[in-house]
Structure 1
Amino acid sequence: MDNAKVAGQRVLLRADLNVPMQNGKVSDATRLERLVPTIKELAEKGAKVIVLSHFDRPKGKVVPEMSLKPIAEALGRVLDKPVAFAEDCIGPVAEAAVAKLKNGDVLVLENTRFHAGEEKNDAAFSEALAKLGDIYVNDAFSAAHRAHASTEGVARHLPAFAGRLMQAELHALEAALGNPQRPVAAIVAGSKVSTKLDLLNNLVAKVDILVIGGAMANTFLAAQGHDVGKSLQEKDLHGTALEIMKIAAAKGCEIFLPKDVVVAQNFAANAPTQVVSIDAIPADMMALDVGPATVEAFIERLPHIKTIIWNGPLGAFETKPFDHGTNTLAAAIAQATKEGKVISVGGGGDTVSALKLAGVHHDLTYLSSAGGAFLEWMEGKILPGVEALSKGFSNLG
């Protein structure tokens, strides 16, 4: 946005207003708060700010419960200034609302997904959106992995720029994976290896240490011949796990697996637990968290690591006491970050939730709220919304 001359211009701002709602009210305003710097800068520079966003999955139909109106009201409270609302995002209703704007005003248009052309990236729908603006700014990295009309199509018709949140996300991810300070460690966890195959295959070629946790680790341990009892695992992916380890060895990437685990007979809050080595998991028990020796072993490595990328909690963090491994490691990484000893970047829905519960979400270098886009970036995939900004469409103006 440094190069965008926005005074007096109609700026179409693609934001992500797809926020959690309960009883018709915003229950977590984090995404709205992260938009404040871009919106305030544009407004203070005299732009007419026109906010585009999707919400939920109305599948091309008008669903009143999925209107952006209550979110526009919440955005106004976060910005501490009036925010107008239009009950459509294209056509006469939207055009009339835009025409009323004065320099510095903010307007939210109705859910783009009320039109089938949004998810189809329909050319006519993209043109109808573009008609409302003079400049396009994309500040929705979290939707950048989708080639939709409001994330990619509009950028073909207007001078296009990255907003401050998009800029911050890209800068953080470049620091983590593009041109990082080494050694780099990636923490990848979750319930299934199958959902993160692309991620694992990309990371083994880019990081120095790959920490595998969560139920994913059970599949790797079982593939190595460890008896994991009743633990969740994917037996049909043992060969894949061994192949990933083979590729990692060839690339000089160390695979870091649990040394011990917290086991229980039942997955329930405050269930009786034991800490056992990975060679002593009882047949009638399941691993639900990494053990203290595993966490301590990684913490001992921290002084020698310069960059950490985190995607996925180490255990079933939503249920105590299976949050202990994640919380202990999170506190250590947060402390190292605050002391300037490591660059730490986390992302993904469960990761954000786990780090919030651990009370350290403000202490990492950067915590991405992008979810799917963060994961696809880590997988090495091209994000259409980012590519649209970097292809030179901005030279149209």
Structure 2
Amino acid sequence: MPAFNTLDDLSADSRVLVRLDLNSPIEDGTPQDNRRFERHAETVRELAEAGHRVVLLAHQGRPGRDDFTSLGGHAEILADRVGRDVGFVADTYGDEALEAIDALDAGEILLLENTRMCDDELPEASPEEKAETEFVRTLAPLFDAYVNDAYSAAHRKHASLVGFPLVLPAYAGRVMETEYEANTAIATREFDGPVTMVVGGTKATDVIGVMDALDDRVDRFLLGGVAGELFLRAAGHPVGRDVGEMDLFDEQWERNRELIESVLDERGDAIRLASDLAYEGPDGERAEVPVDDIGEKETGYLDVGATTVADYEPAIRESDAVFVKGALGVFEDERFADGTVGVLDAIAETNCFSVVGGGDTSRAIEMYGLSEANFSHVSIAGGAYIRALTGEPLPAVETLEAAAERRRD
């Protein structure tokens, strides 16, 4: 069980400051609805229906980037998901924000402006330093409690994530609670049968670190994506290299070569590599080639092939637990979704404990009509999921645990 307090421990009739992660794709200046709104709506709705006065903090993008915008549109999407009005004020801790907070009645919800528009928010610093910022010192006295529901940002040391738990009674929201329990299961739970990890995506550096950290907890790794090609390269195949204007493989190979070769040497019997790969043929259709038939890499490989999927499925079906980090192909293009969807289908049909991690991979579930109910947990976290798998600390979780410890004392 987590060592932090949850909403079950929250006193009635509180004015609550709640940190969400509503960071979303922005198209033509408009935030796009996604799984994060749906998940966080559960926490917000529960608090509002219990009669708390609910004030929300969230971020969008970073200064200087195209997706760095106001949260006005986010309030509208969240209101639809919660089923209640969500007020918005284009201010975070100035007079306008303070007046709007003071005017809240029981059960009402208010979203404040993008936290990253505050100078105090972004620089990484210790919780003690963040607790002393004007941002935290101004807002905290207005609230009875702080709730962190932003598990996907829990690896950051930003003021809204680690400052408030030092000066307010602090609790985990429902997203924080469920994400933490599912994503730490690989380290904390005992499984009766084999534990399998599906490893893919484009950020090979992250997943290779996960493989190294979990070598004693995972019985087999099923590889695809960029990491899969890099391991094929280490095994002596002429793939895992950049061709044309591609810039995915060579830099990651140089950075991780020794670790890849070490993991392959020490855990080779646990690592399953693709036996065939898919690419775009001359006619624009999907084409496949056995890895052993590749003499030189001349094109980009965009998915694992049908034989590989057939090889991976039995390993999944006999597993007691399956963790997914990264897609096996470019599933956004239907021609190259077979690997990712084939593996997810096998997991969905298997009575195992399953966690699908990372926003990109979880999108495939929705895109291809799979049901979230067929998986134990579909994570909305990226960087925090990686950290949980590798056992690295999550500062925002640590501050919640410290807050709970202080209350027990």
TM-score by length of 2: 0.86
Aligned to 1:244: 263
CA deviation after TM superposition for structure 1 residue 4, in Å = 2.9
Aligned to 1:329: 343
CA deviation after TM superposition for structure 1 residue 392, in Å = 3.4
How far apart, in 1, do the equivalents of 2:206 and 2:179 lie? 23
* SS in structure 2 of the partner of residue 117 of structure 1: coil
Pair 1:15-2:20 in alignment:
yes
Aligned to 1:288: 302
How far apart, in 2, do the equivalents of 1:291 and 1:387 lie? 42
Aligned to 1:211: 222
The amino acid that maps onto 1:277 is P
- Select which of 42, 59, 74 maps to 1:54: 59
- Select which of 88, 98, 102 maps to 1:99: 102
Instruction: Show the 5 A alignment for 1:1-397.
Output: 1-58=6-63, 66-120=69-123, 122=130, 123-124=132-133, 125-181=135-191, 182-228=193-239, 233-234=249-250, 235-236=253-254, 237-248=256-267, 254-264=270-280, 271-283=284-296, 284-336=298-350, 341-360=351-370, 362=372, 363-393=374-404, 395-396=406-407
Decide whether the 8 Å contact of 2:87 with 2:111 is kept in 1. yes
Residues 1:64 and 1:209: Cα distance change in structure 2 (over 3 Å): closer
How far apart, in 2, do the equivalents of 1:75 and 1:274 lie? 42
Aligned-residue sequence identity (percent) comes to: 35
Over residues 29-88 of structure 1, what are the superposed CA-to-partner deviations in whole Å (9 max), with x where a residue is unaligned? 4212111221122122221111111111137x9x99711122112222222222222222
The amino acid that maps onto 1:344 is S
How far apart, in 2, do the equivalents of 1:349 and 1:29 lie? 10
CA deviation after TM superposition for structure 1 residue 219, in Å = 1.6
CA deviation after TM superposition for structure 1 residue 23, in Å = 3.5
The amino acid that maps onto 1:7 is A
Decide whether the 8 Å contact of 1:348 with 1:369 is kept in 2. yes
How far apart, in 1, do the equivalents of 2:309 and 2:198 lie? 12
Residues 1:229 and 1:71: Cα distance change in structure 2 (over 3 Å): closer
The amino acid that maps onto 2:9 is A
CA deviation after TM superposition for structure 1 residue 372, in Å = 1.8
CA deviation after TM superposition for structure 1 residue 321, in Å = 1.8
State the 4+ residue runs in structure 1 displaced beyond 6 angstroms: 229-232
Over residues 85-110 of structure 1, what are the superposed CA-to-partner deviations in whole Å (9 max), with x where a residue is unaligned? 22222132222111111111111111
Residues 1:3 and 1:217: Cα distance change in structure 2 (over 3 Å): closer
How far apart, in 2, do the equivalents of 1:49 and 1:24 lie? 27
Taking only aligned residues, the RMSD between alpha carbons, in angstroms, comes to 2.6
Decide whether the 8 Å contact of 1:230 with 1:286 is kept in 2. no
* SS in structure 1 of the partner of residue 335 of structure 2: coil
Count of paired positions:
385
Decide whether the 8 Å contact of 2:285 with 2:335 is kept in 1. no
Over residues 278-328 of structure 1, what are the superposed CA-to-partner deviations in whole Å (9 max), with x where a residue is unaligned? 211143344322122211112122332011111111112223422112122
How far apart, in 1, do the equivalents of 2:83 and 2:7 lie? 24
How far apart, in 2, do the equivalents of 1:129 and 1:206 lie? 43
How far apart, in 2, do the equivalents of 1:132 and 1:110 lie? 17
How far apart, in 1, do the equivalents of 2:407 and 2:338 lie? 53
* SS in structure 2 of the partner of residue 321 of structure 1: helix
How far apart, in 2, do the equivalents of 1:151 and 1:115 lie? 13
The amino acid that maps onto 1:43 is A
- The runs of 5 or more residues in structure 2 that have no matched partner are 1-5, 244-248
Aligned to 2:3: none
How far apart, in 1, do the equivalents of 2:53 and 2:36 lie? 21
* SS in structure 1 of the partner of residue 51 of structure 2: coil
Decide whether the 8 Å contact of 2:286 with 2:336 is kept in 1. no
Decide whether the 8 Å contact of 1:204 with 1:210 is kept in 2. no
Over residues 344-393 of structure 1, what are the superposed CA-to-partner deviations in whole Å (9 max), with x where a residue is unaligned? 11111321223322322523221111122112222221111111111235
